[in-house]
Amino acid sequence: MKLVYPANFYYEEDEGYSVEVPDLLGCVTQGDNLEEAMEMAQDAALGWILTAIEDEEEIPAPSQIEEIKLEEKNGFKTLLLLDIDQYTEKYGTKKSVKKTLTIPEWLNKRAEKIGINFSQALQETLLNKIVKTDRKK
């Protein structure tokens, strides 16, 4: 699942950039150049969201970029594309729990025929539902 959050970038006198993601309280980072600042911003935002998910905390809905205000004149705002599935696979908790479930036989046959990974499909669906539910609150 991919999420999009606005971020504010500020040019610093030492030629680096500081970054804040206003919707994610305390999510700030920096980079020595714009490319590094972008990467650091994505990593910080994804880490913030993953921690919230693992701690069973609400994930704030992203604001519209037009609603975001810059704190300083030397900045700009942009959107961050965050791939939570990829990040979770790489950095998420490795602890798993076994779940037993029942699905219709026809659905099982069709899914197996096309090679669906049941665990991955369930995880993606559950994460999508969690984020949608948090956004409705």
Spell 14-31 as b/e; 16+ CB within 10 A means b. Answer: eeebbbbbbbbeebbbbb
Q: Which domain holds residue 113?
A: 2-136
As a whole number, mean pLDDT of residues 82-102 equals 80
Output the domain CATH number for residue 23. 3.30.160.250
Highest-confidence segment of 23-27, 84-88, 118-122, 125-129? 23-27
pLDDT at residue 95 tops 70: no
The total number of structural domains that make up the chain: 1
Answer for the pair 19, 5: CB distance below 8 angstroms, yes or no: no
90 — pLDDT class (breaks 50, 70, 90): confident
Query: Any idea how long the chain is?
Result: 137
Using one digit for the tens of pLDDT, what is the confidence trace for 51-60?
888 888 988 9
